[in-house]
Structure 1
């Protein structure tokens, strides 16, 4: 066997043994952050990850975990109080009630219009849109807190194209849980 090959293999074995010893002895102690956590906090209670005979935990209600604070825009046809997608709105409100069936849901309703038409007409149209949506919601378990209307003021996007105007013909709903 070649002497150079033997010295190379021997050098590699010595180097790997020394580097492993050096890592375990000196370097690993500085990497304490890599160690798994021994405690876990759930719902205000600190739990140990070590095996135990019994495990205590506290149950947190749904309201404490996910408070309801939701905003939804309902779009309307041009110069109309007809919703663009009435089935989608009904499905949304039904699913919201289903998810929060033991909670009183409160709604703030704000009507808007695009810039087509006079300011007075758009103010009246936004009022009728807000009233239509609030009537649809009042048949459910939702409590209407306020109904307001702003006409063509406060557009979501500039009224420069028809697709932008469609986004501004809306009723904004702010849902909160009581």
Structure 2
């Protein structure tokens, strides 16, 4: 017991005797152009605004328009690539968000063919998002083929709208609240 107390007393006295280094202000090491209060205030204000924007984006729910495809195609259109790039940015900022990409087709073709085509469409979108830096664990796919049309009318316009990939978002963060 005496040894422990003596060791503790020796350690405390050594810490108390340690010399303190000279403290310098934050501006001591900055170049002269940054010493002005306006430059420092502008920098901290901008950083605060950027943090606030990032925080707001992280809290807002994600959404995305459907990705449309040509007949018998699983090739992304240029306008879809731009939208997917924005979606990828949102998903990278929200690592707890999961997205299911569902592939759909019009009713032309057999059921088996349409399920396979819907799968290819969903996989193309998933792979594109992965290539843009979205974590694979955030992405899953499903194919509905022709089973979930946007409209039951059999017009060319209705067929075009049914050739799509759609997004369903969920978040582990929301589930824990």
Match of 1:148 among 138, 142, 146: 142
Give the TM-score normalised by structure 1: 0.56
Q: Is the 8 A contact 2:126 2:140 kept in 1?
A: no
Q: Structure 2 stretches of 5 or more lacking a match?
A: 1-50
2:118 corresponds to which of 126, 141, 144: 126
Contact 1:109/1:172 (<8 A) preserved = yes
Deviation at 1:176, TM superposition (A): 5.0
Point out where structure 1 has 5 or more consecutive residues left out of the alignment. 1-58
CA RMSD of aligned residues (A): 2.5
Alignment correspondent of 1:87:
78
Which residue number corresponds to residue 62 of structure 2?
Answer: 69
Query: Could you give the per-residue CA deviations for residues 102-141 of structure 1, whole angstroms, max 9, x where no partner exists?
Result: 4325321100110001111111111111111111111123
Higher strand share: 1
1:167 aligns with 2:161: yes
| Partner SS for 1:69 | coil
Corresponding pairs, count: 117
Q: Distance in 2 between matches of 1:149 and 1:68?
A: 24
More helix by share: 2
Task: Give SS of 2:63's match.
Answer: strand
Aligned pairs for 1:4-23 within 5 A: none
**Does the CA contact (< 8 Å) of 2:85 and 2:129 recur in 1?**
no
